[in-house]
Amino acid sequence: MNHTPAELTAPASLLHLDSSASPTEHSVSRQLTALFANTWRERHDTAGYRYQYRDLAAEPVPLVGPGYVTLGQRLAAHGVLPPAQVAAQVQDPSEEQEWALTLPLIQEVLAADTLLLGVPMYNFAVPAALKAWIDRITFPGAFTDPRTEQSLLRGTRVVIVTARGGGYGPGTPREAFDHQTSFLRMYFGNLGVAEEDLFVIHAELTRAGAVPALAQFKELAASSLATAREQLLTLATADPRQSEPTERQAAASLS
């Protein structure tokens, strides 16, 4: 593919999402995503960058409503339609309102070359605040190149930071209870994010300092946190693969 000079010099871009209901001083996932974001910004400071932040817990994305579903189902019947052409298909005010809530979120994802997600484990899964965002952005055709039918997220790096009160590592008694990691891996893989661009970093046993029954795991908790910090620092200073930034950014600006 031929890149224009402007495309080749597009600044690095990070979309940072937090979903913990706790404020930063009490939230492990928020502290870890902040560590990544601050390090990433320092690294890109000289060359310039685009940074977008959303606090999905403090400012929740509305749950999808009937207009979202009817619009999505009608468009899915047409095959792939890029976001730029969706507004012309809107048939009533409810669909218009739903699309107005949805399009900016899709554009933010398309414009980013790194997605950073802070994800506490709530009831063995992801917080409802994050799920609401996922349900809304996953609109038919939003991340598919209409010319090639390939994913526009091929080349997007996704860094997921989980925090969980218990331990769910391989071989532990509660390994099978972890519906957070499997869901997120499957979700982003299905959207077209390459496996080598998908990073899931865990801080485990975060409640060990506060829950007496978990006190025996304090050292493991400290070591899990230290490893998570190290991994995030490495990722934040690494060069992300940027195989197809131009299609993503073109789609974002067209929409």
Ligand X SMILES: Cc1cc2nc3c(=O)[nH]c(=O)nc-3n(C[C@H](O)[C@H](O)[C@H](O)COP(=O)(O)O)c2cc1C
Residue numbering of the annotated binding site for FMN: 20, 27-29, 121-124
The residue within the footprint of ligand X, chosen from 60, 146, 165, 192 (CB under 6 A), is 165
Q: Is 207 in the site for ligand X (CB under 6 A)?
A: yes
Tokens of 213: 């029954």
The residue within the footprint of ligand X, chosen from 13, 27, 156, 181 (CB under 6 A), is 27
- Taking CA atoms, 80 is separated from 75, 212, 249, in Å, by 8, 53, 18
x/- mask, ligand X, residues 63-102, rule CB under 6 A, reads ----------------------------------------
The residue within the footprint of ligand X, chosen from 37, 126, 137, 163 (CB under 6 A), is 163
Q: Is 131 in the site for ligand X (CB under 6 A)?
A: no
Contact 125, 187 (CB under 8 A): no
* Binding residues with ligand X: total (CB under 6 A): 17
Residues of span 177-206 touching ligand X by CB under 6 A = 206
The residue within the footprint of ligand X, chosen from 12, 13, 30, 83 (CB under 6 A), is 30
Q: Is 17 in the site for ligand X (CB under 6 A)?
A: no
The residue within the footprint of ligand X, chosen from 68, 99, 122, 217 (CB under 6 A), is 122
Rounded to a whole number of angstroms, the minimum distance from the CB of residue 224 to ligand X is 11
Q: Is 52 in the site for ligand X (CB under 6 A)?
A: no
Rounded to a whole number of angstroms, the minimum distance from the CB of residue 80 to ligand X is 36
Contact 191, 138 (CB under 8 A): yes
Contact 118, 232 (CB under 8 A): no
Q: Is 29 in the site for ligand X (CB under 6 A)?
A: yes
Q: Is 14 in the site for ligand X (CB under 6 A)?
A: no
The residue within the footprint of ligand X, chosen from 131, 154, 157, 164 (CB under 6 A), is 164
Rounded to a whole number of angstroms, the minimum distance from the CB of residue 116 to ligand X is 14
| DSSP codes joined into one string, the chain | ----HHHHTPPEEEEEEE--SS-GGG-HHHHHHHHHHHHHHHHHTTT-EEEEEEETTTSPPPPP-HHHHHHHHHHHHH----GGGTGGG--SHHHHHHHHHHHHHHHHHHH-SEEEEEEE-BTTB--HHHHHHHHHH--TTTTB-TTT--BTTTT-EEEEEEE-SS---TTSTTGGG-TTHHHHHHHHHHHT--GGGEEEEEE--TTTTT-GGGGGGHHHHHHHHHHHHHHHHHHHHS----SSHHHHHHHHHH-
Stretch that binds ligand X, among 76-84, 96-104, 115-123, 214-222 (CB under 6 A): 115-123
Q: Is 57 in the site for ligand X (CB under 6 A)?
A: no
Instruction: Using CB under 6 A, list all residues that contact ligand X.
Output: 20, 22, 27-30, 120-124, 163-166, 206-207
